[in-house]
A and B are shown apart, each in its own frame.
Chain A
Amino acid sequence: MTIMRIIIPRLVMLFFVVFGVAVITFIISHLIPGDPARMIAGDRASAETLMSVRRDLGLDRPVWDQFIIYVSNLLHGDLGTSLRTRRSVAGDIATFLPATMELGAISLILAIVIGIPLGVASAIYKDGPIDQVARTISVCGISMPVFWFALVLVLLFYAKLHILPGSGRIDMGIALPTRITGFFLIDSLLEGRMDAFWSSVRHLILPSFVLAFANLGVITRQIRASMLDVLQEDYIRTARASGLRRRVIIFNHALRNALIPSITLLGLALGDLLYGAVLTETVFAWPGMGTYVVTSIQTLDFPAIMGFTVVASIGYVLINLVVDIAYMFADPQIREIG
């Protein structure tokens, strides 16, 4: 019952957002200088060809009609046809999405696994050496230009030291694992192909670390701030006065409460990951959404750009919905009261 109370307003919001996104992307796509018909048909197309292309694209109809067509296409999952690849944008996105999701998932795990302990240690030993180091790393993380960091690591580990690969998801000589989920790690394990698995792992190390680094900074800071707040609370004093062991107080009592406000971070982190992915993938030639978008931008493939915008926006709202539900499960007060 209470879950519905959270989901329904969010779904309504989703509807408005999708509509808003549709409007905005539609407006933007009509701001574009240049003639889409010409772009598709080519510079040397004759007038008749241009006219028929225009008719196909619906460009000869009034703007309002075009908008309605656009929205109804969206609702059917049709995001248009890419000017560059000539395939459906939706299909292209489906092809490239898993690579980005795999990268994003590993980065998130890395960021959490390193960030949370660092934040906790930073809070407990406030102003001590660990804290200074953690805060420096943290500030570096949030100030780091992702694309540059990626380049530097490639320079170091690939060009100079030759210990890690500098591009791609898998070594050139190894056959791709059969596509079941699109996640190379999972697919290669399912097939039992350890060569593909380890090659994928090696290729994941650098890009996921680059992506994780920025989020690491944010997570560490947030956990540190939350822990510092929580450690001031009365119930921590009660725990100390009852003689509970320090480790118990920190992990069972303090961290539990400190993590709750940090859940919002999860949503932000996932949003940032998308942005970071765009930059990181271009450096590592990672065949994911990021490369797709950047190539689309560079070739002015507007259906692709708009399609990506719509998908990314919807994904963002869904992520926030998941975050809200996660909040509900984490905080018993919200759970019971609703």
Chain B
Amino acid sequence: MASASEPRKPDGQKPAALTIDGLSLEFPTYAGAIKALDDVTIEIGNSEIVGLVGESGCGKSVTTMAATRLLPEGRYRVTSGSIRLFGRDPFAMDETELQDVRGKLVSTIFQEPMNALNPTIRIGKQLVGVIQRHEAVSREEAERTARGILRDMLIAEPERIMRAYPFELSGGMRQRVLIAMAFSCNPGLIIADEPTTALDVTVQAVILRLILDRAKRTGTSVVFISHNIAVVSQLCDRLYVMYAGRIVEAGPTRAVLESPQHPYTQALLRCLPERVEPKAELEAIPGTVPNLLDPPQGCFYRPRCPEANEQCFAKPPSMAPAPDHLVACWRRETIQPSMISEAQQ
């Protein structure tokens, strides 16, 4: 078995941060059910930085929001699979238990910071509100903690920021506040859902480094969700590639990037401007993402895949071991590992 693709085994009895096993999820609408996730398996160990990559609408956010049950209740249906957050089942918890878990065990950082803070409450009060929710501390202590984290986020005048209203801050600043809020109660897992996509390029690198450094220092696991495989690869130990609600490739970052096996991953990497020779044409992947109301038979990527054959039409591929990581592709299963390492020479 490809042990490199499995998360670092936890020491002692501590359960993995997040285990999603064969999760299938759909959104019923009046026109039918949208199959958002199909047999998704992800595992995040303790103190691991993992990337979840894929284009918009592929289900990356749905996956993590399902884990924290932040999807709108009653509007979705889990058709199979299970989730474990630090060994606990979020679907077995009632609202009160979930409220205890969110913010304390798992925190989420969202993509759009502009409206993510309450416009009528001062920053300090919002931070303190979260801290006092999970820790039994006095207001002064909570404020001290809040100031501390803001300083960790490289905010020069935490006191001034604490007294400010959200509309007085720039997008980058607001995101730092939100990251501070996420880290404030020392969660074991942070879900960072495209935290920098809505920000200036100049600010993006800083923000990502902030999250990474803090996580490494405190031993927090992080799931980095992004559609930008280049950005994510620099930060994460392992990668999952998603397409149309399925995991198509998974493994250590270096393995996936240096020898991508799935045609989709390969196409994604070829599209990156950084990898293209000057004056050469930029590539795009032909076709469009499948309609999840009525997905194609067999492998979802088949309509756009240059290598598709009849087997790809028959049934969806499951994750099979490639030399050092996992890939879901019929075409790869027939290739011997030795042939790959020969081709790489």
Contact = CB atoms under 8 A, between A and B. Distances in A.
A and B touch in the complex (CB under 8 A): yes
B110 A239 contact: no
Interface stretch (A18-26, A113-121, A240-248, A317-325): A240-248
Q: Choose among A234, A252, A331 the residue with the greatest number of B CB atoms under 10 Å from its CB.
A: A234
B116 interface: yes
Contacts of B108: 241
A234 B115 contact: yes
B118 A257 contact: yes
A240 B103 CA distance: 9
A241 B107 CA distance: 7
Nearest to A335: B165
Interface in A87-136: none
Given A235-B115, A237-B110, A332-B167, 11 more contacts: A235-B116, A235-B117, A241-B68, A241-B103, A242-B133, A242-B182, A243-B133, A246-B99, A257-B120, A330-B120, A332-B119
B58 to A, nearest CB: 21
A253 interface: yes
A56 interface: no
A124 to B, nearest CB: 12
Contacts of B121: 252-253, 256
A238 interface: yes
Given A242-B103, A244-B133, A332-B165, A237 B120 contact: no
Contacts of B120: 256-257, 260, 330-332
B104 A248 contact: no
A336 B122 CA distance: 13
Contacts of A244: 99, 103, 129-130, 133
8 contacts: A234-B112, A234-B115, A237-B110, A241-B70, A244-B103, A244-B133, A252-B121, A333-B167
A238 B116 CA distance: 6
Contact of B70 (A234, A237, A330, A331): A237
A172 B266 CA distance: 93
Top 9 nearest A-B pairs by Cβ distance? A243-B103, A243-B102, A242-B103, A234-B115, A241-B108, A234-B116, A235-B118, A242-B130, A243-B99
A333 B165 CA distance: 8
A292 to B, nearest CB: 42
A240 B68 CA distance: 10
A237 B116 contact: yes
Nearest to A257: B120
Nearest to A246: B95
Contacts of A43: none
A234 B134 contact: no
| Interface residue range, chain B | 20 to 34
Contacts of B129: 244, 248, 252
A233 interface: yes
Contacts of A257: 118-120
B118 A239 contact: yes
Contacts of B189: none
B244 interface: no
Interface of B: 68, 70, 95, 98-104, 107-108, 110, 112, 114-121, 129-130, 133-134, 165, 167-168, 178, 181-182
| Interface residue range, chain A | 20 to 34
Contacts of B118: 235, 239, 253, 256-257
B181 A243 contact: no
A243 B119 contact: no
Contact of A234 (B100, B110, B133, B165): B110
B165 A242 contact: no
A245 B133 CA distance: 8
A140 to B, nearest CB: 29
Given A242-B130, A243-B134, A235 B102 contact: no
Contacts of A333: 119, 165, 167
A336 B134 contact: no
B284 to A, nearest CB: 31
A123 B130 CA distance: 24
Contacts of B165: 332-333, 336
Contacts of B117: 235, 238
A242 B181 CA distance: 8
Contacts of A332: 119-120, 165, 167
B95 A243 contact: no
Nearest to B114: A234
Nearest to B193: A241
Nearest to B166: A235
Contact of A240 (B70, B168, B182): B70
Contacts of A260: 120
Contacts of A248: 129, 133
A241 B119 contact: no
A253 B121 CA distance: 8
Contacts of A235: 115-119
A143 to B, nearest CB: 30
A284 B322 CA distance: 87
B115 A240 contact: no
A237 B168 CA distance: 21
Contact of B102 (A233, A242, A256, A330): A242
Nearest to B129: A244
A235 B120 CA distance: 11
A243 B100 contact: yes
A238 B114 CA distance: 12
B55 to A, nearest CB: 22
A248 B125 CA distance: 13
Contacts of B102: 240-243
A262 to B, nearest CB: 14
A248 B103 CA distance: 15
B130 to A, nearest CB: 5
A101 B92 CA distance: 56
Interface string A220-262: 0000000000000111011111111110100011001100100
A243 B116 contact: no
Nearest to B125: A252
